[in-house]
């Protein structure tokens, strides 16, 4: 089966990662996965939320937003509704959880790293794309701190990325675009580390239920996509990823 962009069913969309995309953020990445484009900025604050004060521990939190014409019809800004919609809240919590899971927050110290994800153009997989790009922005921000004042323990322990899988017209597909996602009978988002461990599995039978065997097939395909995305993260970071998982300093 060939899909849009001449993709096979087990193939991710073309990925382009541009680091240092904005001038002021400690880490900044424009990530493009197919026609989905997300700007991820990482900002460092020398303070923590009230519940962490005095605990010698840091925090990572995320905000997610879709620009009004990132979609085919204009999306109303949350600020105009004076509240964050449920989908936005769910996604930004997911991004924050994914990143915190692979970071030693005590090693980070009393700092907060804000991750701002703005969807410039949406064509499916915005949450998974945001996680993939945010990790690279986080690494750049942490490395900036590390080069200025080396951590006793380098805080980033693992790579993390995410991918979607689903069943469309009875075919199991990897990395769904919007057209595929909108008619998927089963839809899943998987967040994993480079060690093959799961952080989050979001799976829904949209139009049909699915068996344990089908679930295993979906997870196997997702793992294949995760490996591809982590490879692209490493290619983008190159030498700047050498500290990850070492817990120490590399000269």
Can you tell me the distance from the alpha carbon of 222 to that of 245, in angstroms, rounded to the nearest whole number? 23
What are the domain boundaries of the chain? 4-72+82-237
Query: What would the DSSP string read from start to end of 167-197?
Result: EETTEEEES--HHHHHT-SEEEEEEEETTS-
- How confident is the model over 28-43, as a mean pLDDT? 98
Q: What are the pLDDT digits (tens) for 64-83? A: 999 988 988 888 877 766 66
- How confident is the model over 81-95, as a mean pLDDT? 86
Q: What are the pLDDT digits (tens) for 182-208? A: 999 999 999 999 999 999 999 999 889
pLDDT at 115: 98
Q: How confident is the model at residue 175 (pLDDT cuts 50, 70, 90)?
A: very high
pLDDT at 247: 78
Can you tell me the distance from the alpha carbon of 155 to that of 224, in angstroms, rounded to the nearest whole number? 27
Structure tokens at 199: 């952080």
Beta-strand pair 112-121/59-66: parallel
- How confident is the model over 53-74, as a mean pLDDT? 92
Which CATH architecture fits 4-72+82-237? 2-Layer Sandwich (3.30)
**Quick one: 183 exposed, middle or buried, by C-beta within 10 A (0-12, 13-18, 19+)?**
middle
Q: How confident is the model at residue 43 (pLDDT cuts 50, 70, 90)?
A: very high
For residue 69, the Cα-to-chain-centroid distance in whole angstroms is 21
Q: Which residues sit in the known binding site for phosphate?
A: 87, 125-127
pLDDT at 248: 67
- How confident is the model over 26-55, as a mean pLDDT? 96
- How confident is the prediction for the chain on average, in pLDDT? 93
Does residue 210 carry a pLDDT above 60? yes
pLDDT at 251: 52
Q: Which residues sit in the known binding site?
A: 87, 125-127
**Reported pTM:** 0.94
């Amino acid at each position: 089966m060939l899909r849009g962009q001449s993709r096979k069913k087990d193939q991710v969309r073309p990925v382009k990662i541009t680091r240092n995309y904005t001038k002021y953020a400690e880490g900044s990445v424009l990530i493009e996965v197919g026609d989905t484009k997300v700007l991820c900025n990482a900002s460092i604050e020398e303070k923590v939320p009230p519940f962490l004060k005095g605990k010698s521990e840091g925090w990572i939190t995320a905000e997610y937003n879709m620009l009004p014409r990132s979609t085919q019809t204009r999306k109303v800004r949350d600020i105009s509704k004076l509240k964050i919609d449920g989908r936005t809240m769910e996604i930004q919590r997911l991004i924050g959880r994914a990143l915190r899971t692979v970071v030693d927050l005590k090693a980070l110290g009393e700092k907060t790293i804000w991750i701002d994800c703005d969807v410039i153009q949406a064509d499916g997989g915005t949450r998974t794309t945001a996680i993939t790009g945010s990790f690279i922005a986080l690494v750049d921000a942490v490395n900036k701190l590390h080069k200025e004042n080396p951590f006793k323990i380098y805080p980033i322990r693992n790579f993390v990325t995410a991918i979607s899988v689903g069943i469309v017209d009875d075919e199991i597909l990897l990395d769904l675009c919007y057209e595929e996602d909108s008619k998927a009978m089963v839809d899943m988002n998987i967040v994993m580390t480079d060690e093959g461990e799961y952080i989050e599995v979001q799976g829904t039978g949209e139009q049909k239920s699915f068996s344990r065997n089908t679930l295993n097939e979906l997870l196997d395909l997702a793992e294949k996509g995760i490996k591809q995305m982590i490879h692209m993260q490493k290619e983008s970071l190159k030498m700047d990823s050498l500290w990850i998982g070492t817990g120490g300093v590399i000269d």
